[in-house]
């Protein structure tokens, strides 16, 4: 009896061990000790970073003056706060959790050739890896380090953005509506200027609400994309332009020149090219303007009147006539004059 109980117990333990083996992720091998994914000496003093994903590629580099620039976008400034810093922090936290698999069939399923990341430190050392799908245990993305044949498990979960446009710092001017003292427009068909009576007060006159809307739209000017200096499409667009000048309460002035180009596709807004300059020669808008032509966000095209006539229509829109032209207006019989003198006007009989 005792031997029978011992046999049953052994069988139960064996089945339990088998169940644990079946629950273990199939692409997870025994991992060794954890280690940083990227050496700290590279992360603390990076020099360049290259990302490839979704068929696009971006390289950002540290310029001689210490600023980061996007190589594929005419060396325009990098959006450090929203792109570079979050990626570096994610890499600093990431760990190498050991070998995942070296099986060629499993490696193929990980999609390791779809994305890659390469970072070079100022000391010349390089971290490079192909990046694949998340591991079954949810720890992070799978990777294959440069020169290795096996994939590793990592705790890296950073977002890989490889579109150069999304890496550039798109802000051409960043202000507050209440800091704008005056605004002046120069169109092909005329000019208009408006000023606040004092800081904290709205623009006056019947044009005030329209001017306030325009000032709110121009307080922060962002680019949606950039084109090369001398771009033919931009040059053709700027053959016809209009200018908006902002005067700030601190004495600075910002000048924005706008021009419309053809739409990229049917049923889309025309392209809106923008050149922004600042009275301070060292302002970032002047630095960026020397490198590229910029396109504004499409919605801004609807906010800005491209002519004095359009501006006046916005201030005083034409009255709507609910009736059809020439149609008699029922209920308005008093004072009706008929041909042949003041003949009496027949009124409808009272309803029964």
What would the DSSP string read from start to end of 126-170?
EEEEEEEEEPTTSS-EEEEETT-SSEEEE---------HHHHB--
pTM over 0.85: no
Q: Is 198 helix (H, G, I), strand (E, B) or coil?
A: coil
State the SS3 of 16-78.
Answer: HHHHHHHHCCCCCCCCCCCEECCCHHHHCCEEEEEEEECCEEEEEEECCCCCEEEHHHCCEEE
- In tens digits, what is the pLDDT along the chain, a chain of 352 residues? 444 444 444 444 444 433 333 333 334 444 456 899 999 999 999 999 999 999 999 999 999 999 999 999 999 999 999 999 999 999 999 999 999 999 999 999 999 999 999 999 999 999 999 999 999 999 999 999 999 999 999 999 998 999 999 999 999 999 999 999 999 999 999 999 999 999 999 999 999 999 999 999 999 999 999 999 999 999 999 999 999 999 999 999 999 999 999 888 888 888 999 999 999 999 999 999 999 999 998 899 899 999 999 999 999 988 766 555 544 444 443 444 444 444 444 445 555 4
Six-digit token string for 200:
């904290």
Helix (H) or strand (E) holding 189: none
What pLDDT is recorded for position 324? 53
pLDDT of residue 257: 98
């Amino acid at each position: 009896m005792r031997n029978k109980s011992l046999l049953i117990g052994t069988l139960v333990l064996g089945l339990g061990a088998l169940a644990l083996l079946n629950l273990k992720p199939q692409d997870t091998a025994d991992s060794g000790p954890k280690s940083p994914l990227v050496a700290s000496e590279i992360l603390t003093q990076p020099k360049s970073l290259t990302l490839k994903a979704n068929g696009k590629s971006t390289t950002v580099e540290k310029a001689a003056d210490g600023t980061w620039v996007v190589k594929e976008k005419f060396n325009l400034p990098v959006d450090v706060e929203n792109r570079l810093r979050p990626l570096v922090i994610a890499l600093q936290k990431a760990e190498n959790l050991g070998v995942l698999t070296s099986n060629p069939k499993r490696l193929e399923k990980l999609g390791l050739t779809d994305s890659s990341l390469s970072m070079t430190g100022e000391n010349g050392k390089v971290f490079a890896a192909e990046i694949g799908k998340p591991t079954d245990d949810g720890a992070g993305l799978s990777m294959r380090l440069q020169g290795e044949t096996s994939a590793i498990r990592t705790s890296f979960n950073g977002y890989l953005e490889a579109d150069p446009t999304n890496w550039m710092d798109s802000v051409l001017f960043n202000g507050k509506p209440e800091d704008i003292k005056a605004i002046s427009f120069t169109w092909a068909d005329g000019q208009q200027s408006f000023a606040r009576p004092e800081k904290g007060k709205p623009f006056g006159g019947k044009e005030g609400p329209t001017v306030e809307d325009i000032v709110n739209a121009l307080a922060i000017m962002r680019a949606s994309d950039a084109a090369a200096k001398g771009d033919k499409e931009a040059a053709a667009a700027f053959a016809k332009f209009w200018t908006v000048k902002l005067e700030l309460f601190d004495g600075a002035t910002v000048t924005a020149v706008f021009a419309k180009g053809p739409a990229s596709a049917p049923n889309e807004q025309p392209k809106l090219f923008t050149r922004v300059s600042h009275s301070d020669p060292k302002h970032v808008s002047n630095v960026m303007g020397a490198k590229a032509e910029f396109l504004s966000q499409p919605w801004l095209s609807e906010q800005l009147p491209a002519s004095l006539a359009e501006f006046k229509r916005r201030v005083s829109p034409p009255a709507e006539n609910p009736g059809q032209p020439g149609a008699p207006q029922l209920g308005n019989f008093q004072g009706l004059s008929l041909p042949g003198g003041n003949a009496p006007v027949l009124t409808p009989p009272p309803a029964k």
